[in-house]
Structure 1
């Protein structure tokens, strides 16, 4: 289930206000739409205090303040109607706000814009907002990106966003929004999560307008003061865009582990081995664990990248993800405490405490299924146990476990441990390399991985400096790990030989036909 589907499910499960359950012809058309689809988070009065609000960071918008982040108007200015409509249509990536363009009709969305404006007196008492004039984007080049990198440091973007853009700058754990709630700087390596849009034009617009209500300032003042030029701001936008992949990552259900055979060097033995740069990466989105109490609606780790290789004897799996700190970290401890205090629903049973580590679990079935049946995705159950590789940053090692439900994992005896792990954290990114033999002596407690097979696999991750521990984690659904076999030489030679044989036979047939044609009387 994707993030959008989870958000939509949460909307539908929230109790509807009475006004949404009754038809009242005196209600504005936009109010009917709002009460049905928006009040669950934003509240019936628009103050951002709906039943679901405490499970969200950042909190839902308080429409009575008329303070909008995504705009084409100046900092502190009201948005245009088109600005409000844009957010309704596409949502705000990186937040709980989904897009409604596919669900609501054009008329319903127009009515909603009118109703949202009626919630704030500022729209009635202020002149119509004027859209800023934006220059056209110059063509990207290496020189522009290089100058953008210099501007990035000059205007101190790295203080919040970090040197590599992974939101790990020295000021990151001190950031708060205008409601005094903790807020994360944007991870600039994931432009598909930018709440104002991920194109270079979107980035430039946000740099010009700022994100009102957050620590993200406007850079228009720097242009007006002559500190930088508009062209240099475009270069900064191009640099920020270059930190993310050219295309938004696509989800693939099968993670392929190529067979390196007896090639020189064998399998990589380090998470920072340069050979990983040429291995295909698979994008694994994660969502909060909101099924088993205590639940967690605010995971810090929102996706993983998985790479895998094998050599017919061992399998090596590299899992990497953005994390602004190596937990535990004293500088981030107050931030984590603020997250815990701000987040609902505060189910009983939370095991988080200051000093909690980062964690990663790679989950398999204990035995290979014969069909499509797999254990429950949250570490199995009594009928179908799960086999786990569990890593923690405070131990910096991996252990094998067998679980029969979330949080029930039992570590195998030291004499039976087969999996190893090596981890590295740098510039806001974890890289954890697991390695294990495909076949082990303990066929009862270890999953056996025959070559040329497909193995179900799932993942769970915890950021200790985000208030996560125990059941409060980020989780994935099931995927598949395909252990590929090297292509035999005969497979490559046979099609080539068949092609050459066909070509020769074809040439013979054509030659004979031409000879017969010449032998027919009357034809020259």
Structure 2
């Protein structure tokens, strides 16, 4: 037994050494393993069935679905992949590609494929590599950099990470609190001149390459070509990279998955519902995060809304209710106008590919419009945008659609003469302003049926508490479908709004009882939220919205359980007495009949 264990240990160590030697040999010029003809044939079958619709029959990212995807599918012919465990400029390892296929890319059209066996993943990887001659060059390979086990996160490591985050220029693009609102965020471009979005670091579940500590460490180490996002492997000590990782994770409360809820709770307020108190009003109100999705059912569709989530809190007193809505935004659009009933073309052709979202190309707008800007290379999990032949990079960014931009995209990544103040981008003139609306049924639904969540329907109308964030007053609309949204003559809610450190905070306040639905204690009130990003030219039915959720008005005093218990006990007792009485009566009749 002991001899067998030693033999197994020797064999395992030998296998590890051979694996490392093979990796080093490949990096030093050994012939790369590109698969057999049989493996390539099976890989092609899998690719044609599952991948070609987006990535194209030739692997050039020009599939039939490409015009409708944002970011565009990856062009494999360049051999430049996005999520890697290899140093900047090197090809990915086979395991990098397999992991990408197996896990997919969150918040893009690239799905996960856990259905593939290991052999299928291997053969598909070989076939993907066949699209690019780069994989035939032994000198293009480098071994993966080590990813050590994460050290324990501490308050000290988070503080050091915050300092390193500022010192290394992250704040200039991602903002002081990581909300993607750095001073240069709107002007960022990739190496091909395409406007690109800086990631919201407060939502690690949206990170393209994964949001675990090891995932972020890998991205910090390897970086991404095609953008100013550098690889820090070799230039920063591992403990410094880990500290930045810890700070990034702290921005989300160290959440592994999106903390989405399906219920918001309105709780009794502490003190008067004075809007001048702002967010202080909601200090003791629980927070509910609802996911935002694009409105794609009705004309004016928004396939790529800028906002991914909203946070809702609510408080009430004897007569009024107040609701706070918060969401992250790269820049506050406080010019122009907006409204839920503005017309939008069937396909929003006023923001074609290559045009700036916040204005014309000359005005320095962004790619945030209805379509991604096109550099002819395509994007996707493998790298949102491709680099030119002589560019050093695989494009794209682990953090979001893309990472910070090129030389003509708003200055040096490192912040030129400073690291950025994090106070947010400068305001510019925009045609459409930012806006938000709370949607409630006009009357309490009978049973489980609710109005259609896209602005109601002919039989079941909805009330919209609407705020054009250019203006200081709210408006009240009634919807009977997306083509029938009219302003109401009833008194609208009170409103206050502010934008700070990349976050909008909007408070609505209204009487608990009318006009419209009443907010009674113990009641579940359906609620939906719509957000319009003026920078993304969202207006009317082109918007991000939530599905129906519930706002529960918690009673001021918790109902005593003794009343219901007493009623239930008396009911059971009465039923038992009735049964006993019937049994005795029948028994007496039976005895009388027998006599």
The interval holding the TM-score normalised by the smaller chain is 0.7 to 0.9
Superposed displacement of residue 52, structure 1: 2.4
1:234 to 2:234 alignment: no
Distance 2:186 2:261 in 1: 34
1:114 to 2:138 alignment: no
Matches within 5 A, 1:137-286: 137-220=150-233, 222-223=235-236, 229-247=237-255, 248-260=257-269, 263=270, 265-267=271-273, 269-270=275-276, 272-286=278-292
- The answer to whether the 8 Å contact 1:88/1:100 transfers is yes
Residue aligning to 2:422 = none
Q: Secondary structure at the match of 1:112?
A: helix
1:359-391 Cα deviation digits (max 9, x unpaired)? 111111111111111111110122222111111
In structure 2, the CA distance between the partners of 1:251 and 1:163, relative to structure 1 (3 Å rule), is: closer
Distance 1:337 1:204 in 2: 29
- The answer to whether the 8 Å contact 1:328/1:355 transfers is no
Structure 1, unaligned runs of 5 or more: 1-24, 224-228, 346-352, 496-524
In structure 2, the CA distance between the partners of 1:118 and 1:140, relative to structure 1 (3 Å rule), is: same
Superposed displacement of residue 109, structure 1: 2.9
In structure 2, the CA distance between the partners of 1:316 and 1:194, relative to structure 1 (3 Å rule), is: same
1:485 to 2:514 alignment: no
1:390-447 Cα deviation digits (max 9, x unpaired)? 111112332111011225321112xx2141111110110001111111112x4xxx22
Structure 2, unaligned runs of 5 or more: 1-37, 337-356, 375-428, 566-595
Superposed displacement of residue 335, structure 1: 5.3
How many residue pairs match? The answer is 449
Distance 2:373 2:448 in 1: 36
Q: Secondary structure at the match of 1:340?
A: coil
Structural RMSD (CA): 2.7
Q: Secondary structure at the match of 2:275?
A: coil
Superposed displacement of residue 217, structure 1: 1.6
Flag as ranges the 4+ runs of structure 1 deviating above 6 A: 492-495
Matches within 5 A, 1:336-355: 336=365, 338-340=367-369, 342-343=371-372, 354-355=430-431
Matches within 5 A, 1:113-132: 113-127=125-139, 128-132=141-145
Distance 2:364 2:284 in 1: 37
Distance 1:307 1:134 in 2: 40
1:291 to 2:304 alignment: no
- The answer to whether the 8 Å contact 1:68/1:213 transfers is no
Matches within 5 A, 1:39-50: 39-50=52-63
1:121-169 Cα deviation digits (max 9, x unpaired)? 1112235441112333222211221111111111111111011111111
1:95-116 Cα deviation digits (max 9, x unpaired)? 3322121x44444333322221
- The answer to whether the 8 Å contact 1:168/1:324 transfers is yes
Give the alignment partner of residue 392 of structure 1, picking from 461, 465, 468: 468
State TM-score, norm by structure 2.
0.70
1:60 to 2:43 alignment: no
Distance 1:298 1:258 in 2: 34
- The answer to whether the 8 Å contact 1:209/1:219 transfers is yes
Superposed displacement of residue 344, structure 1: 9.5
Q: Secondary structure at the match of 1:455?
A: strand
Distance 1:344 1:172 in 2: 16
Residue aligning to 1:403 = 479
Distance 1:65 1:469 in 2: 38
Residue aligning to 2:455 = 379
- The answer to whether the 8 Å contact 1:167/1:324 transfers is yes
1:438-492 Cα deviation digits (max 9, x unpaired)? 112x4xxx22333321111111111111222222111211111111112358559
- The answer to whether the 8 Å contact 1:65/1:120 transfers is yes
Distance 1:493 1:150 in 2: 58
In structure 2, the CA distance between the partners of 1:242 and 1:251, relative to structure 1 (3 Å rule), is: closer
Distance 1:78 1:329 in 2: 46
Higher RCO structure, 1 or 2 (CA under 8 Å, sep 6+): 2
Q: Secondary structure at the match of 2:235?
A: helix
State TM-score, norm by structure 1.
0.79
1:29-78 Cα deviation digits (max 9, x unpaired)? 22222222222222222112223223333322111111111110011111
Residue aligning to 2:31 = none
Residue aligning to 2:587 = none
Residue aligning to 1:519 = none
